[in-house]
Structure 1
């Protein structure tokens, strides 16, 4: 039995248009930032009301989906967390991102009627 599981599921809003990058290996990735509202309990512990997560799409299918997203689009993503290390000046820095396994655009919420 494997008791380790690296899987995340997030629902939120796209912050900005997705960007394509070509890595030194020649691989293309498409990345975007996801804004996720914090839970009411988390909001009571901190003045921060949202978290942002970098998301990266590696497959052609997911890259295409990501490139069709616009700022404010509601999405559900799932995937695995990855930690990327890089050298910056005299030190090493790192960041965590979501390596996408799925990406679904969610319908816009219904607009309240004043009728």
Structure 2
């Protein structure tokens, strides 16, 4: 006889801190929904000394669907340092060449940590948090 089955909660939680790569873009989908996307460049840990290569980065697409988050992402400028939380999503759509998909981060919260130059984190007074409702 087996005991009670243990319930394990599944999680899909993302937290990123990185640099905005370019101006966010606004798209209106065929459904009429609006989405704002921004590319976030997140540095990986540096290579061990003496390897002679630049530290690699990951470039991730962040998307905002709700009005508060769309407004927040629209205010971002290239090289802003931001923190986002959200979930990894796979989005599907059709083109003339057939079905397409991509993974992106669906933003739940967004905080601008600093304006401008990469690697210069701002002070608490510069942070502008917004959480989705």
What band does the TM-score fall into relative to the shorter chain? 0.7 to 0.9
For 1:59, which of 66, 82, 95 is the aligned residue? 66
1:35 and 1:5 mapped to 2: Cα distance? 24
Where does the alignment leave 5 or more consecutive residues of structure 1 unmatched? 111-115
RCO higher in structure (CA 8 A, sep ≥6): 1
Distance in 1, matches of 2:108 and 2:22, equals 20
Q: Are the equivalent residues in 1 in contact too, given 2:43–2:55 (CA < 8 A)?
A: no
Q: Structure 2: any 5+ residue segments left out of the alignment?
A: 1-6, 122-133
Aligned residues: 107
RMSD: 2.4
Structure 1 or 2, whichever has the larger Rg, is: 2
Q: Separation in 1 of the partners of 2:103 and 2:67?
A: 22
Give the alignment's TM-score, normalised by structure 2: 0.70
**Quick check: 2:37–2:62 contact (8 Å CA) kept in 1?**
yes
Structure 1 residue 40 and structure 2 residue 64: aligned? no
In the other structure, the counterpart of 1:49 is 56
SS for the counterpart of 2:114 is coil
1:10-55 CA distance string (max 9 Å, x none): 000000001111111111110010000012369x7x9761000000
